[in-house]
Structure 1
């Protein structure tokens, strides 16, 4: 899927080097097709890294995608320049009269806070309420998934006795669901979180379904029964080295952090970790874009 992104977006050159099909506005206008409009609310601190991770995945299927990056106006980002935000991001007040075919809401390293204590929670809930009528399907990641489960469906989050950190095996509850079609019955995915949601709360909620669960009995893929909200509690979008970088970061801060589970060969941080989840990540994003965005969105929003 060629992705239409600004010419000067820094990650553009990396994507081109990786042979990801990117195009700019000039070329996009010459194609007589209806592109998908995808909004990305990037809540992660290192925004350029997350941009690259997500754009890789959105550029891997046959349709054209227009990307709009959204930030929270009520939050001051510390790890990215104001120039980058002003140039490549917009705010909710500037797009709340638009409709989007799909949306991604990322995670954020704020699990220790109650939702209502997050400084942009009111703005985020305004966005999530807006999606009910202005977005065909929303994909929520990690903390974003927990926030959506709390706001839309009243599902709580609970602190873990020890951080879930590493690569875990996951099982499907129903491999015939289109979102997970083509998945192996057991597959890997990265996790890096201090909180969780409970399987029983998901199963007892009539509005959502549990599609995948981890070897530690933690819900992983949850979907609303109308398919408008998809919640992924882990980080399928992570690169092979992301957990290693988080591990080194926490060690340098003197935090009590163990070696990521099932990640480094021989549990040796000196060895290069392999990416054992890439194919399922691409498949999930492709299935989402095809079955829940492209096949469902109106050709013309009214």
Structure 2
């Protein structure tokens, strides 16, 4: 069943019904879960009156990340079309190759068009030098293309580190222990459109072995780079250009409630050195979804 959210506007002379929808590729698993409208992937241009959001999914478990991003965009209440994108020639181990080929467009198929938004996800390659990542050259090409063809690009986690390195040569640094948990982010740019209804602070999940540093961000202020939010515990949180064209978020506002719990149990089972995620479990050892409202507000601000 298709679930529509209907917003009612009224005045003394008329009543206007605005139907709000999320559009996902036909048969994408997240579409049924969210009750989203669907479209044939190759006919993506047929959908009108939406914000077109390209989605470069570099994570190994494609369906999980699809669900996270689609759910978060759905909850913003904005008209959004999500268009999954892939780098041609890549081979996949965790997600079936046929699945990716069916639900994702090659970058070359959309290169001639302009789009409203682009999301570049993280990837489990953060402890590898950027230039040694097998698709680094192709990713750099997409990041440069986005500056000319996309109004706003959102870089997430390793994607944020990759974007900061590519555009500003800002390095990443290994952490002595994994940054893992829910951390309060202090807002430093309350006038930024990204931070509307989020100031003075908001909670954000983090799960990473590397970091970018505050001093390196501030050193590029003359290039229009702003430290939008950070945490004394987890460091840099959100960085953006003053014109809003590039946003870098090192955490995971899109995460579902039990993602960190699943990661913790996975690493324990593998015998990896891991501590319980900080500020995550309550006294009953249950999970409080304290970042959900912040996620919806942040993505709504970014999409609008």
TM-score relative to the length of structure 2: 0.87
2:31 corresponding residue in structure 1: 12
2:288 corresponding residue in structure 1: 274
d(CA) in 2 for partners of 1:102 and 1:3?
Answer: 14
| Cα shift at 1:217 | 6.0
Contact 1:199 1:217 in 2 (8 A): no
| Residue from 11, 24, 45 that aligns with 2:60 | 45
- Higher percent of residues as strand: 2
1:218 corresponding residue in structure 2: 235
d(CA) in 1 for partners of 2:120 and 2:25?
Answer: 20
Give unpaired runs (5+ residues) of structure 2. Answer: 1-19
| Cα shift at 1:272 | 2.4
Q: How does 1:255-270 map to 2 (within 5 A)?
A: 255-266=272-283
- 1:160 equivalenced with 2:179 (yes/no): no
d(CA) in 2 for partners of 1:77 and 1:191?
Answer: 25
- 1:54 equivalenced with 2:69 (yes/no): yes
Q: Counterpart of 2:263 in 1: which secondary structure?
A: helix
| Residue from 166, 170, 193 that aligns with 2:185 | 170
Q: Counterpart of 2:63 in 1: which secondary structure?
A: helix
Contact 1:142 1:235 in 2 (8 A): yes
| Cα shift at 1:122 | 0.7
Sort the Cα spacing of 1:34 and 1:13 in 2 relative to 1 into closer, same or farther, 3 A. Answer: closer
Q: How does 1:139-154 map to 2 (within 5 A)?
A: 139-154=154-169
2:129 corresponding residue in structure 1: 114
Q: Counterpart of 2:25 in 1: which secondary structure?
A: coil
2:98 corresponding residue in structure 1: 83
Bigger drift between 49-58 and 70-79 goes to: 70-79
| Cα shift at 1:13 | 1.8
| Residue from 233, 240, 244 that aligns with 2:261 | 244
| Cα shift at 1:12 | 1.6
Number of equivalenced pairs:
280
Q: Counterpart of 1:5 in 2: which secondary structure?
A: strand
1:294 corresponding residue in structure 2: none
2:303 corresponding residue in structure 1: 289
RMSD: 1.9
- 1:209 equivalenced with 2:226 (yes/no): yes
